[in-house]
Amino acid sequence: MGHYRTAVIAAAALLGGRPLVAQIDYRNLDEGRPVQTEDAYPAERYAFELLTPWSLDARPGGTTSVLITPELEYGAFMNGQVGIAAPLARVRAAGTTDLGLAGVRLHAFYNFNTESRSLPALALRTDLALPVGALAGDVARVTLKAIATRSWGLIRAHLNAAWSLGSESGLAEAAVAPRWSGSVAVDRTLFRSSLLLILEGLAEQEVQGAPTTVLLGAGARWQMSPTVVLDAGLSRRLTSAGPDVGLTVGLTRVFGAGGLLPAELR
């Protein structure tokens, strides 16, 4: 998510009155796209973003999770967005494989300010994970996240801090938010290339009493067209004794719905 997005372009003659939304979207960091850290800016107002990421998480002991997480985000109000995601998971462990829906997630995101000389951009995000599906567990879970972004020309830095509330018994088999996490990421735009490179450091505790894990990640976002962005990322948990890597690849497609736009933008 970012503030480098263009205005809505009317294309009534070609598209039967439906608007086409264009943007410069490669500089936007959504959660998990391609690193866990996100920036402090929401989707453009009235714009939809359809995200279709694929991710792999291979851990010591042979547990491997593969997720396809279609997500729809909408700039529903000024400086804010809402979204819904439905992760589909395959979990392989101890010689068995489980397939199914790993919950339904709803989120709301609000940006309090654009950055200034004295303040970074600040935002708050809240997520609700519902126990829907065979791999969704038995409990609902709420996660609150504070986000800050500061820019220096082509370079930006981001801080995220998140806390999850709710029972830790009966959690989902996959796509579970940690009990707490904190991360820092730095990204850089390559001049006139529509390409963003990202480095991330993250610490988290999955459940109460578990050891803190430390993760390093790197990724890139490439603007393939005005409305399509390709992202890819790789991560490694440094505190693991064996293979413990993550991989993500995904596309983001931005579009508009004419009936939801104010009259002056139709």
Predicted pLDDT of residue 171? 82
pLDDT tens digit at each of 266 positions of the chain: 444 343 333 333 223 334 444 445 788 999 999 999 999 999 988 999 999 999 999 887 778 899 999 999 999 999 999 999 999 999 988 788 999 999 999 999 999 999 999 999 999 999 999 999 999 889 999 999 999 999 999 999 999 999 999 888 888 777 889 999 999 999 999 977 899 999 999 999 998 988 999 999 999 999 999 899 999 999 998 876 666 899 999 999 999 876 666 666 65
The encoded tokens of residue 83 equal 């979204």
Predicted pLDDT of residue 195? 95
Predicted pLDDT of residue 16? 34
Predicted pLDDT of residue 240? 63
Query: With respect to CATH, is domain 8-259 assigned 3.30.70.1140?
Result: no
CB-based burial of residue 40 (10 Å sphere; 0-12 exposed, 13-18 middle, 19+ buried)?
buried
Q: What is the rounded CA–CA span in Å between residue 35 and residue 78? A: 26
Please name which of 185, 170, 180 lies closest in space to residue 210, comparing C-alpha atoms: 180
pTM of the model: 0.87
Q: Identify the bridge partners of residue 162 per DSSP, sorted by sequence position.
A: 145, 181
Predicted pLDDT of residue 168? 85
Predicted pLDDT of residue 257? 76
Predicted pLDDT of residue 215? 93
Domain range list for the chain: 8-259
CB-based burial of residue 93 (10 Å sphere; 0-12 exposed, 13-18 middle, 19+ buried)?
middle
Predicted pLDDT of residue 166? 87
Q: What is the rounded CA–CA span in Å between residue 20 and residue 57? A: 36
